Amino acid sequence: MDKDLKSKTFGALERLVVELGGRRYLAGYIFSFIHTRGVTDISAITPLSKAFRARLTEQGYYISELKIAGKLTDPDGTMKYVFGLSDGGQIESVLLFDDDRRTLCVSTQLGCAMGCVFCATGQLGFTRNLTPAEIVDQVNLIEASSATDKRITNVVFMGMGEPLANYDAVVDSVRILNHPAGKHIGIRHLTISTCGDFEKIEKLAGEDIQPRLAISLNAPTDAIRQKIMPVAKKFPLDQLLQAVEIYQRRTKKRVTFEYCMIKGVNDTASHARLLAKRLRPFMCNVNLIEYNPYPGCELRPSGRVAIERFARVLKESGMETTVRLKMGQSINAACGQLGAAWLNTSGPNQWE
């Protein structure tokens, strides 16, 4: 049983308080003190009686806290944070600025087991899942470290790891970040990205809380997709898109398809036509992402001309299409680059 109060949803805290003989409303104090005031010591939750605070401590409950181990800023304003975990591991998060939006890309795992060849994190391998506390604390600490009072407006679960492979912790994190007593980030501003675990997508469609969904697609056919995403053999396109259709039917939400543009692999006009045909039934938008190289990978990014041609074919086919230009590349903070500084080194402690 997880004794970390920061990992518990509002409902779980209510149940815990009642189990320990307290009034249900006390859960609100615990939740808000942790997620709005940044309290990491149970004794500091002063609305609770001394006796009840002592009871929590005696039962082994505690409040964890990540440590910011470093921060880098790209000339374009993108910020990358590295966090130290209690077991010595490290993860990275990226803060992006777009007018009034402050979007934080959070990690959900230490490493990743998916092995996508275009992603540096996938080459690190998988160590473990993050707890809900370790996921939401990326938001808490980055907001607390800001020199202004501006809040994180959007959170995307697109950092290190495959979010749906850590399903329970990620869904609990969504509940925690969305709750009015905490950060109260709107559900439309919380996005889960996945390589295509169709069973988990269908499960997510059945939840009582439904964030936005982004699919890391990257190819219009199984043959191409399996070359760059080994896990695609387990998640074939027909079953993946069927799950997306179920999610969309139940939630009525627009779905985003992420498409990393790789030179000579998936970037021709014919690829674009195939993609448009595949996605025509969906209420969706396509994000074309400039491929971001990392050390040791032979893949190369498509040129701007190829990307613009690809986008034009999609738009002419009626697809809402956005080109996501490289941001944070000089600090290895762009899509697919998290953990790149740790490759060919003795480990995360080489991060700088």
The number of angstroms, rounded, from the C-alpha of 30 to the middle of its chain's C-alpha atoms is: 25
For 198-229, how does the pLDDT look when each residue is reduced to its tens digit (9 = 90+)? 999 999 999 999 999 999 999 999 999 999 99
For 50-88, how does the pLDDT look when each residue is reduced to its tens digit (9 = 90+)? 999 999 999 999 999 999 999 988 888 889 899 999 999
CA pair distance 12, 18, nearest whole angstrom:
10
Residue 330 clears pLDDT 70, i.e. is over it: no
CA pair distance 92, 119, nearest whole angstrom:
14
Where does the pLDDT of residue 311 fall: very low under 50, low under 70, confident under 90, or very high at 90 and above?
very high
Q: Which amino acid is at 156?
A: V
Mean of the per-residue pLDDT values of the chain: 90
pLDDT value of position 326: 61
- At 334 the three-state DSSP class reads coil
Q: Which CATH superfamily is domain 67-350 in?
A: Aldolase class I (3.20.20.70)
Which whole number is the average pLDDT over 25-42? 97
Residue 329 clears pLDDT 60, i.e. is over it: no
Helices 10-19 and 167-178: angle between axes, nearest 10 degrees: 90
Asked if 112 is an active-site residue, the reply is: no
pTM, 2 dp: 0.92
Asked if 284 is an active-site residue, the reply is: no
Residue 335 clears pLDDT 80, i.e. is over it: no
For the residues of 338-349, what is the DSSP string, one character each?
A: TTGGGTTSSSGG
For the chain, residues classed under CATH 1.10.150.530 are 5-58
Residue 13 clears pLDDT 90, i.e. is over it: yes
What is the enclosing helix (H) or strand (E) of 81? strand 79-84
Ranges 211-220, 233-242, 289-298: which has the least confidence: 289-298
- Judging by DSSP bridges, how do beta strands 255-261 and 212-216 pair with one another? parallel
Distance in angstroms between the alpha carbons of the first and the last residue of the chain: 36
For the chain, residues classed under CATH 3.20.20.70 are 67-350
Residue 91 clears pLDDT 70, i.e. is over it: yes
How far lies 264's CA from each of 57, 303, 334, in Å?
59, 10, 21
Nearest to 182, CA basis, from 31, 46, 39 = 31
For 242-251, how does the pLDDT look when each residue is reduced to its tens digit (9 = 90+)? 999 999 999 9
Where does the pLDDT of residue 333 fall: very low under 50, low under 70, confident under 90, or very high at 90 and above?
very low
For 165-188, how does the pLDDT look when each residue is reduced to its tens digit (9 = 90+)? 999 999 999 999 999 999 999 999
pLDDT value of position 349: 39
Q: Which class is 5-58 in CATH? A: mainly alpha
Ranges 3-17, 115-129, 159-173, 235-249: which has the least confidence: 115-129
CA pair distance 144, 135, nearest whole angstrom:
15
What is the enclosing helix (H) or strand (E) of 67? strand 67-73
Who wins on pLDDT, 327 or 349? Answer: 327
Contact 69, 84 (CB under 8 A): yes
Q: Which of 65, 92, 134, 143 is catalytic?
A: 92
How far lies 189's CA from each of 103, 185, 212, 237, 264, in Å?
9, 7, 7, 27, 34
Which whole number is the average pLDDT over 131-137? 98
CA pair distance 350, 82, nearest whole angstrom:
12
Contact 7, 172 (CB under 8 A): yes
CA dihedral 156, 160, 164, 165 (to 10 degrees): -170
Residue 117, both tokens: 């060849």
Where does the pLDDT of residue 340 fall: very low under 50, low under 70, confident under 90, or very high at 90 and above?
low
Phi first, then psi: what are they for 329, rounded to 5°? -65, -35
The number of angstroms, rounded, from the C-alpha of 77 to the middle of its chain's C-alpha atoms is: 20
How far lies 21's CA from each of 52, 53, 92, 267, in Å?
9, 12, 39, 61
Percent of the chain with pLDDT over 90: 78
Who wins on pLDDT, 350 or 243? Answer: 243
pLDDT value of position 98: 84
For 248-281, how does the pLDDT look when each residue is reduced to its tens digit (9 = 90+)? 999 999 999 999 999 999 999 999 999 999 999 9
Please identify which residue in the block is written with the tokens 């391998």.
Answer: 125
Largest CA-CA distance found in the chain, in angstroms, rounded: 69
Most confident of 33-37, 118-122, 328-332: 33-37
Ranges 202-216, 286-300, 321-335: which has the least confidence: 321-335
Please identify which residue in the block is written with the tokens 């060849």.
Answer: 117
Q: Which of 116, 260, 284, 335 is catalytic?
A: 335
